[in-house]
Amino acid sequence: MTVLEKRKSAPNYITLLPPGKIIAEKIFEMGIDATELAKRCDLSLETVQELLDAEIPLTLEIAKAIERVTWMQAEGMMRVEESYQNNLKFHRKHPDYPVL
């Protein structure tokens, strides 16, 4: 069964949700901004901003740093990253497939 055939038996859309969007929502709920997150995680502001803007992929090292600050599980964030990257690759090969 091809990937496209598998997709046809699954939901009729894909989601493109980068982990940075979820992290941005969490820090908003916490009342902190990207600058504060960077400081608390001992990361550069540039790295945090690029992650929040989905310009760089989430790494396990960054996920663990964010986990210490936000209590969001690093493993869960990495699963979101993996799903995002897989769906992004699929979308690039099949740009007409619906995106939600």
Cα dihedral: 48, 50, 52, 53 (round 10): 160
pTM, rounded to two decimals: 0.85
For residue 14, what are the β-bridge partners?
99
Determine contact, residues 25/10, Cβ cutoff 8 Å. no
Give the closest residue to 52 by CA, choosing from 65, 70, 38, 39: 38
Set out the domains of the chain in order of their start, with CATH numbers: 3-93 (1.10.260.40)
Question: What distances in angstroms separate CA 28 from CA 13, 43, 67, 96, one per listed residue?
Answer: 28, 18, 15, 33
- Name the pLDDT band for 36 (thresholds 50, 70, 90): very high
pLDDT tens digits for range 50-89? 999 999 999 999 999 999 999 999 999 999 999 999 999 9
